[in-house]
Amino acid sequence: MRTYLDHNATSPLRPAVKAAMLAAMEIGGNASSIHAEGRAAHKLMDDAREKLAFWLGCLPQMIAFTSGGTEANNMALRGVAVDRLLVSAIEHPSVMAAARASGKKVEIIPVDQFGRVEMAALEKLLVGGRALVSVMMANNETGVIQPISEIAGLVHAAGSLLHVDAVQGVGKRQVNFGLLGVDLLTVAAHKVGGPTGIGALIIRDGLVVEPLLHGGGQELRRRAGTENLINIAGFAALADVPQLDANDVNNRLEASLEGATIFSGGAARLGNTTCFAIRGLSAETLLMKYDLEGIAVSSGSACSSGKVGPSHVLQAMGVAPDLARSAIRISSGWNTTETDIQHFISITQKFRARASAKAA
């Protein structure tokens, strides 16, 4: 039996999403072609864009489809005409790397011990002139949620722009572009049961974003290349599925972790995410042990190479290095069962008993 608790990395494809993608595969045309097949493809894409716009609280023409969250983040940070970027210290690597590659001045916004943006520090940084501020809606490691509307008010009062990476928020909490009051919003499908390889950058009307990719005139000339019609259909299908509600699941999980450190435990977090550490048990060792017991979880400090390295998120929160090296992330999803929860709890209790016996 396998227990999958790594939905913040990628969540398995939902049946309704798969059905929508299979239906889209029957349409063989290019959405840029004017013949009947092309018009059918264009209609499917327009319908999907309208459905997503209604779900995400924006106008259809504000949505520029991309290959995923990474491309959308790069498009935002590299494509807006500002000289400065203010980036929170806990951003996803795709934001950090895009900022460094932009050629613009990059300044880091500090966070508190829970991983929340220090508002007073942000206010001081904004005095330096017009900037693009990038703050994620919810952290991929700890699940901590930022007060985006409050940040938007502060940023706009200073005459600056706000970009929000909402990849971890989509499908787990309300994501409404208009209500948030942001200028740019990154979204993607695969964290809540949508397909990988599809995302979007939502761009406020009137804001110019230079394209990363040049070629045809797709996406109102903001992103060249033939649109990924099948994945777009799958993305739009997420608008019809219930919002993930995993609070009960996580409460039971966290109740079983007595004595462990739960990072950002005193702050508002995504209901599906727990990042914890047990002193004396390294993340690298635990990941292998969990996998051998049939459980897929992640290290809070996993990097793109698949190896465990220091987490910049936990470092920014002031977590001691030895404790940070023990960080494990559990993230439940749409198909998590009671059996999965009990499996994780029993195996974790076994590991802790062994560690206690060894210490004695």
Strands 184-188 and 161-165: parallel
DSSP 8-state secondary structure symbol assigned to residue 137: S
Q: How far apart are CA 44 and CA 32, in angstroms?
A: 12
Q: Is 275 a catalytic residue?
A: no
Of 240, 189, 206, residue with least CA distance to 65: 189
- The H helix count followed by the E strand count for the chain is 14, 13
Handedness of CA 152, 153, 154, 159 (dihedral sign): positive
Q: Which structure tokens are listed for 318? A: 């002031």
Strands 261-262 and 132-134: unpaired
Handedness of CA 42, 43, 46, 51 (dihedral sign): negative
Indicate the helix (H) or strand (E) that contains 132: strand 132-134
Q: Which structure tokens are listed for 80? A: 């807006």
**Residue whose token pair is 């924006």:** 58
Q: How far apart are CA 148 and CA 132, in angstroms?
A: 14
Beta-carbon neighbour count of residue 307 at 10 Å? Answer: 10
Amino acid at 356: S
Is the CB of residue 192 less than 8 Å from the CB of residue 16?
no
Beta-carbon neighbour count of residue 238 at 10 Å? Answer: 24
Residues in CB range of 8: below 8 A, 6 or more apart: 140, 143, 168, 191, 272, 273, 298, 329, 331
Is the CB of residue 211 less than 8 Å from the CB of residue 222?
yes
Of 19, 81, 303, 320, the catalytic one is: 303
Q: Which structure tokens are listed for 2? A: 């396998």
Q: How far apart are CA 84 and CA 178, in angstroms?
A: 25
Q: Which structure tokens are listed for 106? A: 């990059």
Catalytically annotated residues:
303
